[in-house]
């Protein structure tokens, strides 16, 4: 199924949102709760799956795979049912930046963290992508269960903090598993030990790192949600942080 050809504009700085302009009959799919605002003639409906599969069995199969990523079985479809152009906007769930990816220009497929997907043109297929190596399954943590986005339209990912875009030309890049947002499907992904025993236990970088090797684009985030949440809990009075009185 060919993806709908949507226009968009990303607004904001550290708390971004993407505004998508739909022609009559065009549809964008999004995670539940991501919508910020929409014009009068935009109709929305919660449906089973991403709409790329034909028939009930295809929708059920695609939705069942989403359960493995702890995501909802359903996606919200926003369609322009008016006669002119209409706009709908989607906001990121926590501070960071939105990454716009033209799937057609990156080989028609990317792999991303399970919570990185924000929205995409209808026709984009969402499925689960597991690492080929068993080590990633046992030790991957945040980086193990990944989503595969496939199609020829535009998709939008959310990254916490600042976005780092790296182009690999055959070399290996070692990344904290939580800082990985997504990468082109031609890049090989695995999990490896972060260093010696002392570094693993006391270095603060975790026991394992994601190893990426190949040719293509890798998107990273400087502040994953898990790291932000850990810092908040660490300094929150009554939850583990120190009490701070007023002067």
Confidence of residue 114 (pLDDT cuts 50, 70, 90): confident
CA distances to 29, 57, 81, 127, 149 from 64, in Å: 17, 10, 29, 9, 16
Neighbouring residues of 136: CB distance < 8 A, sequence distance ≥ 6: 130, 143, 144, 189, 190, 191
Residue from 89, 90, 97, 93 nearest 16 by CA: 97
CATH number, domain with residue 211: 3.60.160.10
Neighbouring residues of 53: CB distance < 8 A, sequence distance ≥ 6: 59, 61, 62, 125
Q: What mean pLDDT comes out for the span 99-110?
A: 96
Q: What does the alpha-carbon distance between residue 228 and residue 136 come to, in Å, rounded to a whole number?
A: 24
Q: What mean pLDDT comes out for the span 25-48?
A: 94
Confidence of residue 117 (pLDDT cuts 50, 70, 90): very high
> Is residue 181 domain-resident?
yes
Domain span at residue 29?
7-235
> Is residue 243 domain-resident?
no
Average pLDDT score, the chain: 81
Share of the chain above pLDDT 90, in %: 49
CB atoms < 10 A from the CB of 60, how many?
14
Domain count, the chain: 1
Residue 198's H or E segment, with its range, is helix 197-202
Confidence of residue 143 (pLDDT cuts 50, 70, 90): very low
Q: What does the alpha-carbon distance between residue 78 and residue 28 come to, in Å, rounded to a whole number?
A: 5
Q: Is the pLDDT of residue 57 over 90?
A: no
State the pTM of this model.
0.81
pLDDT tens column, 150-200:
999 999 999 999 999 999 999 999 998 889 999 998 899 888 765 555 554
Q: What does the alpha-carbon distance between residue 141 and residue 188 come to, in Å, rounded to a whole number?
A: 17
> Is residue 94 domain-resident?
yes
């Amino acid at each position: 199924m060919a993806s709908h050809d949507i226009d968009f504009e990303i607004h904001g700085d550290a708390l971004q949102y993407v505004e998508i302009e739909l022609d009559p009959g065009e549809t964008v799919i999004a995670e539940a709760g991501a919508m910020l605002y929409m014009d009068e003639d935009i109709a929305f409906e919660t449906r089973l799956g991403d709409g790329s599969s034909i028939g009930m069995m295809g929708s059920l199969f695609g939705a069942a795979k989403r359960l493995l990523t702890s995501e909802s079985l359903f996606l919200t479809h926003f369609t322009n049912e008016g006669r002119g152009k209409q706009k709908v906007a989607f906001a990121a769930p926590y501070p960071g930046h939105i990454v716009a990816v033209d799937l057609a220009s990156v080989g028609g497929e990317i792999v991303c963290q399970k919570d990185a997907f924000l929205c995409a043109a209808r026709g984009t297929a969402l499925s689960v992508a597991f690492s080929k190596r068993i080590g990633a399954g046992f030790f991957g943590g945040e980086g193990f269960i990944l989503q595969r986005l496939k199609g020829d339209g535009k998709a939008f990912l959310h990254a916490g903090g600042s976005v780092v875009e790296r182009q690999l030309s055959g070399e290996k890049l070692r990344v904290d598993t939580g800082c990985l947002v997504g990468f082109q499907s031609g890049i090989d992904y695995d999990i490896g030990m972060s260093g010696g025993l002392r570094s693993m236990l006391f270095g603060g970088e975790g026991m394992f790192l994601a190893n990426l090797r190949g040719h293509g684009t890798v998107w990273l985030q400087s502040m994953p949600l898990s790291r932000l949440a850990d810092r908040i809990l660490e300094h929150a009075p009554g939850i583990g942080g120190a009490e701070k009185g007023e002067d």
